[in-house]
Structure 1
C-alpha cells in the first residue's frame, strides 16, 4: 500500500474494549488511510451506538442478541443490525472489507476470523484465543487462501517489525524474546501470593488494559498465551521462544538472530503504536503518536521470570509443545479460574492450580479441526468450574 492508494477499509470486531477504542483513535487520527466500515461488540450497547454515530457505519453487530432492541433504539435509522455469531461472521465477510481486526475476548472471535480468511480478507489479530486455541487451523487456512495475519499485540507486533525484511526467515532466527512487565507482584514473596485480592491484581504497573488481560499479566498467563501465539504467527518452535521480565515495558520484544545480533522494538506504552502499524503495514505513516525521549528514560531493567512462584509460563510451554487440543484447554481453564478469582471463589494461586489440574485431566486430541477445538474448550470450562467449586 502506497501513500497514493485508497483507504484501507477495516471491519472492527470488539470495538468497545480497550483495543477497539484505541483502534478508533488511530482511525480518527489517520482518516486519509483508514476507514472503519463496520463495528461489533458483545454487550456494550451504549458505547457501540456512540461509535456508530461517530463513524457513520451502516453495518453493526451485537453478539448478545437480547440487546438488539436496545441498540436499535440508539442508532440512526437505516443502520443494519446483525446479532450473534452469525452477525459477526456477516461483518467479517463483507465484500468491501480489506482487513478484519478481531479484538473479541473469548471464543466468539474464532468463527468470524476463519470466515474472513476463507473470503480472502487479511486478519489483524488482537484476540489471543484465535491462535492459542486454533493456531493450526487458522494458519493453515491463511496459507491456503493467501491471507496475511497481522499481529496487534504489542509483543508480537514488535517481533513482526524486527523480522520484517529478513529474507532468510525462520532460518535466520535463534530466539524470539517476549518481554513481560512482571505484573504488580513480581517482587512479592511467594508465601504472600495467597493473600492477593482482585483489586490488587487489577493494578497493572505500566499498561491500561481490560480486567481479564490485567489479571493474566499478574499471573504471567498473558505471557504464556503469547508464547503459544508466537509459535503460530512466526513458525518458531516453542523451545526457541523465551520470556524476559522488563518492568519499564519500553522494549516490547526482541529477536535474536543466529549471528548473535539482537533487534528490539521500542516505543511508549500505548497500544495505538502496534495498531497503527498493523493497519498501515507495509507503510510507516506519520500520526500524532509521541516518540520516546531517550534522555528522560532513567533505566531499562531485565530479569528472569520466577517460574517456580509463577508457573504460568511452564504450563503454557507444556501446552505449546504438546499441541493438539491442550492449548485450548489451558486457555479455557484460565478464563474460568480468573472469573472465579475475581468473584472471590478462588485464591490467586488457585488460578495456576485450576489450569494445571484441568490440563492433567485432559485426553489430548492431535491435529484437531475447529469443532474438536470448540468441544475441548467446552470440556475444559466444565472441568475447571468443578475444580473452582471443589478445589483440591
Structure 2
C-alpha cells in the first residue's frame, strides 16, 4: 500500500479531499503535529481500513475557522474500521477484526488511564492532558476521515465487535460508538439522569439527540430537547422527545407548559461555545447563554452534564474574553442552587462496550434517532456544507464502499 485519500481543512469554510500518505507505525511531521510527537514510534498500533467515519459538530467548529486549527489538518475522530496491519507490540487485536475507535486516544498506562479517565491521558499529547484524532491542539494524531488510519495502543483503545457479519449489518448504529453516543450518554449520565427524571437537553444536533436517547435508556420520565432549528426539533420528536423552540423566548415558560413546573431535575449542554441567545436574541451569538439558562432551569441540588465543546482559543469569538474561552457565567446562581457540573471530553471507554451491547441486542436505534446518512468520501465537502446549514442528519462517510454509499 502506498496511497491514501483523506478530508483536510483548507481554511475557514473550506474542506477538500486530498492525497495523503498511507499510515506508518511512526508519527510523521505534518499540519498540527506537536513537534515533540514527530518521530514517535507506534509498535503498539494498528492500521485500519476505514469502514465508516463521521462528520462531527466538533469538526465543524474547526471548519468554520473558530479554532486555531492549521490549514492542511486531516480531519476525523469518529472512526470505525477493519484491522489490516498490526505492529509488533500488538497481542490481542487481529487482522480482520472490525473495531470501534474511541475518539480520545489513551495509552492505558498512565495514572489517569488506570483510573478510567481516558479523555485526559497524560502520555499521548505533549501539550496537555487528552488527545484525539485529527483535532487541533490534540497532539497531531492524523484524522480518520480517510481511507486508512493509524490507531496507537491498539490493544487498549480498540473495541472489537464480536461478530463481523452482525457488525456490518448494524454498522450505522455501531459507528456512533466512537463519539456521539457515548458523549451524549455521558452528558445525561453525568447530569444525574435516572428512572423518573425530567431532563432538559440544550441542542438538537447529533450529540443532543444522542443525549436524549441516552436519557431514555437511563429511564427518564420526560426528555425535553431545545433548539432553534425546527427540522432538528422534529427529529427529536420522532423518537418521543418533547421539544422547546428557544427562538420563541425563555425556555422556562415552555418547560412549565410541558411539566407543570418551570424547572427540570437534570440539564445537558450539547451546544458549546457557539451558542446563540434566546427569544429576540436568537440571531446573536452569546456563548454563555446555554450554561446560564441551564443553571436557571435546573432544580436546586441538580446537576449539569456539559459535553458541548468549549475551547481556549477562538479567533471568531464575539469579544476578547470569548476569544480565550472566558465567559460571563452566573456562577453565583449555580453555587446558590448547589448545582454540580461535569465538563470535558467523554471517557468513551467507560461506556462504549455497554452501549455496543444495547445496540447488538436491539435495545436502542441510535442511527435512526440521529438520522445517519451515508455519503462517499468525495462527497465530504457537501456533507460539511449541509451540516453547517443545519441539516437534521448525521453524515457518515464511506471511504471504502462498506456502506454502499453513492
TM-score by length of 2: 0.25
Higher relative contact order (CA 8 A, sep 6+): 2
TM-score by length of 1: 0.26
Higher helix share: 1
